[in-house]
Structure 1
Amino acid sequence: MKKLLLSLALSSIAIAGCSEKSKVPVEMAPFPLDQVRLLESPFKHAQDKNIEYILAMDPDRLLAPYLKEAGLAPKADNYGNWENTGLDGHIGGHYITALSLAWAATSNEQVKQRLDYMLDELKRAQDKNGNGYLSGVPGGKAMWDELAAGNIRSDLFTLNEKWVPLYNIHKVYAGLRDAYIYADSQHALTMLIALSDWSAKLIANLTDEQVQLILKSEHGGLNEVYADVADITGDKKYLEIARRLSHREILTPLEQHQDKLTGLHANTQIPKVIGYKRVGDLAGDKSWQAAAAYFWNEVVEHRTVAIGGNSVREHFHPTDDFTPMVEDVEGPETCNTYNMLKLTRMLYLSEPQTRYVRYYERAIYNHILSSQNPDTGGLVYFTPMRPNHYRMYSQPQDAMWCCVGSGIENHSKYGEMIYAHRGDALYVNLFIPSTLNWEQKGIQLQQENHIPDTESTAITLTGSGKFTLQLRYPAWVKEGELAIAVNGKPITVTETPGSYVAIERHWQDGDRVEVHLPMHIEAEQLPDQSDYFALTYGPVVLAAKTQPFAGEHLNYFADNSRMGHIASGPMCPQELTPTFVSESRDFLGNLERLPGLELRLAAPDSLQLADMQTLQASASFSGLPQLNPQAGRNLELIPFFRVHESRYTLYWPYSTPQGLAEKQQQRETEDRARMALARQTIDKVAPGEQQPEADHFFAGSDTEAGVHLGRHWRHTRDWFSYQLKDPEQEAHRLRITYYGLDSGRHFRILANDVEIAEVELDGSGGDDFFDVDYLVPVEVLEKSDTGTIDLRFEAGENSLAGGIYGVRLLRGKNERS
């Protein structure tokens, strides 16, 4: 593998014509991935299991969309799910990256053979297209021609009626780039440049305003990739394209240090910001660099939960209200953290502060590592923070979601941040068992430990030379407790948590450094300071496996359905969650570590559960099964990354003894209403939210979406539609949510071409949202043999249909009209 210090988002190579500052190398440098090898640990297990998973995937099925789009006969049919319903080919680009990373991280020959095969087949498709174009977007050629001609119809997740085609093709760019960076494929570089030139011609005659209109649709990190191509080739024209492909609607507020993120689709924005940072670094643009750093700070400090993830239902919610985080089953999305780790690494190398490492460590231990099933290699989309819920896992031949694409990359990247170097200083950032080959110094390093089960790490050196070993003093070790010995002799540590301990000496072959890292359990409150707490121990977040219902058999493995990534089984009433009860928030006391090699702690006495009779009454009211008599008792707290195929609790409510009854009553009242509605609901759509609309096959003309008072909406001057699922043909009512001050709106609602309502909004509902239920005529069900209801909103003459803030199909006993 080519030993490139150009590491995707981190290169310091100067671009001809850029500012003088861009010629100064970044002082902190990463080690190429092929110089770091993982040793036995949960991370090594995850890396190996992921290679099994990607080799079990069928390359010909992944290649099919590209061959079809090029007019070539595929050797197998597409995968299902997202891969044959509009986002065809997006996994293929991720797959190229995953193979490239796995090759760099392990030198696995099967992986390299698979990578070469994929690249050869993609080259066939690109050559057949004849103009550098390479994509699996179905029917994409006509759409790209429309864009080049200035015929642009852009929405949040559609572009000229195609499902995020720029996001899709970005995966191909990134895959080819990574095959060059990590696998030294000149083949891939040639293809990447040809693809980049094709797109450059596509937008050459468009105005900046037209390009910005295109960028309204999700487009991944296209600006980052063009900056990378500029860096690789030294041709500044690609950097100018990267600037043009940077979405100013998001960039401008960030440059002004304004957080305008609430309500936005989270993972649409993070790759854009990675691109701002990349362009800023290459061009020496301090404003763009500062915008990226500001974004990171706002997301990590104010929008991130204990595991390192962010967002609910894929969107940023208000920073002062994390209620949806503990109520909704669609918690942090793995893709978000995948991209936040990319941004974090870039920021660290520009400004090596340990706060970046602290976030990175927390996220890889508790979100990324936990997002893989350690037995099957299956990958997780949403990780609910709602107590007593669970996760769904993909399978190699099913469930082709975005978090599968990024997921198959994640587990070959653990070696990227363990070590770094600057001049004659070697930085040890993460305590992950591994070896490092520091070729420039002729030094090899081996780090061994069993963290978090033990509280120390040992580093053995091979080779000799003078350099400074910079050991991170993690913030989770208390001041004065870090202990270091070199060859058995203690050294004095005067540094404080959140810094580095520098050991400068002439190192000899066989030198051994032992680092004692005492861990302590701590309670970490939700960022909005509401009364929910997670427990941490060193770098890990603790959770408990909870099985509140007797004899419950949940399915944890997703099928090929469009919403199979959502853990849609019964929600548990929140009063089934044990509560920390204490006069003060110092409720942890002395926790007992349980016997065994792996970290296990007995839950503290302050964690209390209501009496079983009350709980069973609540469960029965909610239509839930008989409670497990031991539910909530004798709980064990273990690292969250070891919790799989189980309900779990990670965030625990807190109350004083005096306020307990009132809080339980409030939670019970609110939760019963929420769960009753969930039981009535057959299907629902959140208008204006990207994935719910995509999963319901949104279509429309002259339609817009946005956010008002924290709620997403959609309206149209023509029409828009969804496909609702009603497999048992039991729909009785359609519930639509409106905003009370919308006025002068006249439109029709149709289901399977049957009009079910003619709506007039006159603004009389006040400054609030309200629901209207419409009975579903029997004729609608007679036309839904496939178990699908086509719901359509049609605007009246010179009017708007909407705003529509919610769509919910309900069971019920009402007589139909």
Structure 2
Amino acid sequence: MIKKISLAACIGLTAFNAQAVDYFDIDQVRLQDGPFLHAQEKNLEYVLTMEPGRLLAPFLREAGLKPKTNSYGNWENTGLDGHIGGHYLTSLSLAYAATGREDVRNRINYMLDELERAQKANGNGYLGGVPNSDKLWQEIAKGDIRADLFALNGYWVPWYNLHKIFAGLRDAYVYTDSEQAKRMLLDWADWVATLVSDLSDEQIEKMLNTEYGGMNETFADVYAITGEKRYLTLAEQFSHKKILQPLQNKTDALTGLHANTQIPKVIGYERVAQETGDESWHEAADFFWDTVVNERSVAIGGNSAREHFHDKKDFSGMLEEVEGPETCNTYNMLKLTKLLYGRDTSLEYVNYYERALYNHILSSQDPETGGLVYFTPMRPNHYRMYSQPHEGMWCCVGSGIENHFKYGEFIYAHEDDDLYVNLYIPSTLTWAEKGVTLTQTTGFPDTSKTQLTLDSSGEFTLNLRYPKWAVSQHAEVTVNGEPVVVKAMPGEYISLPRQWKKGDKVELSLPMQTHLESLPDGSDYYAVMYGPIVLSAKTSPFDDEVLNYYSDASRMGHIASGERCPIEQAPMLVAKDTDFANQIERISEDELRFKASNVIQPAQYQDLELIPFFRVHQSRYMLYWPYSTPQNVDQLREQKAVAEAQMLELEAITVDKVAPGEQQPESDHFFKGSQSEAGVHLNRHWRHAHDWFSYQLNDQELQAKTLRITYFGGDVGREFAIEFNGETLAEVKLPEGKGANFYTVDYPISKEALRKSENGKHLLKFIAAEGSVAGGIYGVRLLSE
């Protein structure tokens, strides 16, 4: 077994909660044949294909050393240089824990040697790939802090970037017991401590307005490793109080916020709570979890549209957009869930974990190539894009190469003489402290039966999760073929205290049934579920369509930007009421395959086959289905057609677009600015500037003819210029008379301005008149007509 430091043991949860449980280290659980083992193996192939030299290049370059090869492109050479390298170190560390392979350990050692060479060359403990960042850190140390949503003093989320290598060093120590990694980790942490030593709490709080990843979580972990209080103080200082305080007051102020900026903060709040015993921080984290899971998440366990928390009473944007739930969000929600269950064994946490694991995380990997998914659209008849190992370097590639090595971490847990079986995944557990080995064999979810075989003896209580979704009839349990009376109810554990002997077999059969689940806002869109599994259908709405499902290295290649199928033309569920789950017929005993011919319309879709969403790949698909009664179906289609026609027509002539004030769209369009601010008004994001701001627009085929800008009627009298490739497109004074409404203005683009394009790139700039404000700008579209 791999020797390592158990961070869970360092955390000391039981000091503050008598119900706390411990997790098994990943190397104590070995996956057996099934979809999760396949995903782990495919992920290992993908990770070993990636080139360490290219991932290390930004760190060596910034240390003044000559890289051995060029860095990767995409996000790795456009401002977020080095972030994948940090994820990669974590990924390898997890892979070593999950497999024990020496070739993986050798690659970890090589990475650490090269990273330490860069750290020593820096001479002060610093290690990072943030381009030309000396100026940035000098400014920060002096208290010169200019923080925007994703730009800190003009640099793209530098703390978020650096957090990845911070976490990577921690994980190399935790999972491989590398003293080298620990030494580098502490040197790096001390560099941060020195950097911010002269800053006030208020200055640090201002700095945290820019996304900073899980810095507070990792400092809490360093405190758990060292016991040195100064690191816990840093964890508290790096905890954004602007987000924490509403949560402490049980206030949901999340609408409009960039979702994955907030989730790591909350993970940090919970870690600080665990180390300090401050229950208000824990309650804030738990309130956040409850709000996001139960009011802001869709059936697959994911959340957000276009990366932002939308109005929880209106999920229409989730269905209309092609930028659905982001995989990083669910990666982080699972981390938070694991922490919360660790101190309170509520099965509500396990219900969510199971759902998100099967339906989002497992589904986010192409089982053929190992490619990883950024956005999973909920839009009917849309599709996903997959990364390629040397092309896409997005955040969801970084978290993705970690995801598929972590499957063993939550299957089992233990507390004293209690062993908990939370997930039904083929695996072998070695409980070294008890001298117990347990093998779980199951075809779940294709079959509801699970068998647990003891390969050694021991006295303990085996607690089998009786899932909340298993409500159609009683679960059945046998021990060595003898039936056991099940007194537990769904949502509880079935407890089996016993002096177990080698060869004992426990069999569990769980009742599973088909049911419907509406969107959280109660609108007439439904996901079809079988137990915890979301069922989906592959579709082909366009004749002879050939789609490319694999992203190139372009900045926005992770977005499935192909043609959108009109929603009114998508398959619908049509029945007199929503009590028709019994008409969804299972057509295979060996695997989950269903048909719903009696309730799917129109007729050409009646033979669609419903299968688990995690098996739907390289295809358009249905996941949320519009529902109607037979009497209203034609009227509903007409209503949807009217609502969609204008939007689809606009999309057809849109060459490029920017959502001002939204993090990723702005970074993808290389936002720059001076004295610029952003925010949310009436649930719409905006940006303005007292000086100027700019975007780089894409027009590879040089189709652009018109610039369309969205304004708000309340910004009366603001004066500014709009420049396009250095040519003045318009001198603007926002007029009166528009009321509290949004409106658009179209500006024709001159041929002279278009001719100044560089390789299909246009520079759009908004410049405030003296004493005035440029904007607010609520939308930017480049149109071909």
Does the TM-score normalized on the shorter chain lie above 0.5? yes
State the TM-score, normalizing by the size of structure 2. Answer: 0.99
Is residue 4–residue 173 contact of structure 2 (8 Å, CA) maintained in 1? no
Is residue 101–residue 413 contact of structure 1 (8 Å, CA) maintained in 2? yes
Q: Match of 1:699? A: 672
CA distance in 2, matches of 1:3, 1:400: 30
User: 1:636-675 residue pairs with structure 2 within 5 A?
Assistant: 636-675=609-648
Q: Match of 1:754? A: 727
Q: Following TM superposition, by how much is the alpha carbon of 1:576 offset from its aligned partner in structure 2, in angstroms?
A: 2.0
Find 1:790's aligned residue among 742, 758, 763.
Answer: 763
Give the partner amino acid of 2:699. D
Q: Match of 2:561? A: 568
Question: 1:54 and 2:27 equivalent?
Answer: no
Q: Following TM superposition, by how much is the alpha carbon of 1:465 offset from its aligned partner in structure 2, in angstroms?
A: 1.9
CA distance in 2, matches of 1:511, 1:785: 71
Q: Match of 2:141? A: 148
CA distance in 1, matches of 2:19, 2:49: 39
Q: Following TM superposition, by how much is the alpha carbon of 1:391 offset from its aligned partner in structure 2, in angstroms?
A: 0.3
The root-mean-square deviation of aligned C-alpha atoms, in Å, is 1.2
Q: Match of 1:293? A: 286
Deviations 1:235-263 (A, max 9, x none): 01100111011101100100000000000
Deviations 1:380-417 (A, max 9, x none): 00000001000000001011000000000000000011
User: 1:272-671 residue pairs with structure 2 within 5 A?
Assistant: 272-478=265-471, 480-595=473-588, 597-609=590-602, 630=604, 632-671=605-644
CA distance in 2, matches of 1:781, 1:762: 28
Is residue 472–residue 511 contact of structure 2 (8 Å, CA) maintained in 1? no
CA distance in 2, matches of 1:316, 1:731: 31
Is residue 583–residue 598 contact of structure 2 (8 Å, CA) maintained in 1? no
Deviations 1:306-336 (A, max 9, x none): 0000000000000000001111100000000
Q: Following TM superposition, by how much is the alpha carbon of 1:134 offset from its aligned partner in structure 2, in angstroms?
A: 0.2
Find 1:242's aligned residue among 217, 235, 238.
Answer: 235
CA distance in 1, matches of 2:538, 2:775: 44
CA distance in 2, matches of 1:590, 1:517: 21
User: 1:677-716 residue pairs with structure 2 within 5 A?
Assistant: 677-716=650-689
Is residue 706–residue 712 contact of structure 1 (8 Å, CA) maintained in 2? yes
Q: Following TM superposition, by how much is the alpha carbon of 1:123 offset from its aligned partner in structure 2, in angstroms?
A: 0.3
Q: Following TM superposition, by how much is the alpha carbon of 1:761 offset from its aligned partner in structure 2, in angstroms?
A: 1.6
CA distance in 2, matches of 1:660, 1:593: 26
Q: Following TM superposition, by how much is the alpha carbon of 1:603 offset from its aligned partner in structure 2, in angstroms?
A: 2.2
Is residue 33–residue 105 contact of structure 1 (8 Å, CA) maintained in 2? yes
Is residue 12–residue 23 contact of structure 1 (8 Å, CA) maintained in 2? no
Between 775-784 and 636-645, the greater mean CA deviation after superposition: 775-784
Is residue 229–residue 238 contact of structure 1 (8 Å, CA) maintained in 2? yes
Question: 1:233 and 2:232 equivalent?
Answer: no
Is residue 450–residue 509 contact of structure 2 (8 Å, CA) maintained in 1? yes
Question: 1:178 and 2:177 equivalent?
Answer: no
CA distance in 1, matches of 2:11, 2:760: 56
Is residue 598–residue 606 contact of structure 2 (8 Å, CA) maintained in 1? no
Find 1:87's aligned residue among 60, 80, 83.
Answer: 80
Give the partner amino acid of 2:3. K
Question: 1:126 and 2:102 equivalent?
Answer: no
Q: Match of 2:707? A: 734
Is residue 22–residue 282 contact of structure 1 (8 Å, CA) maintained in 2? no
Q: Following TM superposition, by how much is the alpha carbon of 1:494 offset from its aligned partner in structure 2, in angstroms?
A: 1.5
**Percent of aligned pairs with the same amino acid:** 59
Give the partner amino acid of 2:393. M
Q: Match of 2:71? A: 78
Q: Following TM superposition, by how much is the alpha carbon of 1:2 offset from its aligned partner in structure 2, in angstroms?
A: 3.0
Question: 1:811 and 2:784 equivalent?
Answer: yes
Question: 1:12 and 2:11 equivalent?
Answer: yes
CA distance in 2, matches of 1:486, 1:45: 30
Is residue 597–residue 606 contact of structure 2 (8 Å, CA) maintained in 1? no
CA distance in 1, matches of 2:239, 2:382: 38
CA distance in 2, matches of 1:596, 1:474: 22
Is residue 588–residue 606 contact of structure 1 (8 Å, CA) maintained in 2? no
Between 272-281 and 139-148, the greater mean CA deviation after superposition: 139-148
Is residue 20–residue 345 contact of structure 2 (8 Å, CA) maintained in 1? no
Is residue 12–residue 25 contact of structure 1 (8 Å, CA) maintained in 2? no
Q: Following TM superposition, by how much is the alpha carbon of 1:670 offset from its aligned partner in structure 2, in angstroms?
A: 1.1
Point out where structure 2 has 5 or more consecutive residues left out of the alignment: none
Give the partner amino acid of 1:663. L
CA distance in 2, matches of 1:167, 1:61: 20
Q: Match of 1:769? A: 742
| Structure 2 counterpart SS, 1:589 | helix
CA distance in 2, matches of 1:23, 1:794: 55
Deviations 1:780-816 (A, max 9, x none): 111114111100000001110010000000011xxxx
Is residue 27–residue 423 contact of structure 1 (8 Å, CA) maintained in 2? no
Question: 1:271 and 2:264 equivalent?
Answer: yes
Is residue 696–residue 763 contact of structure 2 (8 Å, CA) maintained in 1? yes
Give the partner amino acid of 1:297. D
CA distance in 2, matches of 1:347, 1:4: 21
Q: Following TM superposition, by how much is the alpha carbon of 1:604 offset from its aligned partner in structure 2, in angstroms?
A: 4.0
State the TM-score, normalizing by the size of structure 1. Answer: 0.95
Q: Following TM superposition, by how much is the alpha carbon of 1:726 offset from its aligned partner in structure 2, in angstroms?
A: 1.2
Is residue 270–residue 281 contact of structure 2 (8 Å, CA) maintained in 1? yes
CA distance in 1, matches of 2:215, 2:735: 43
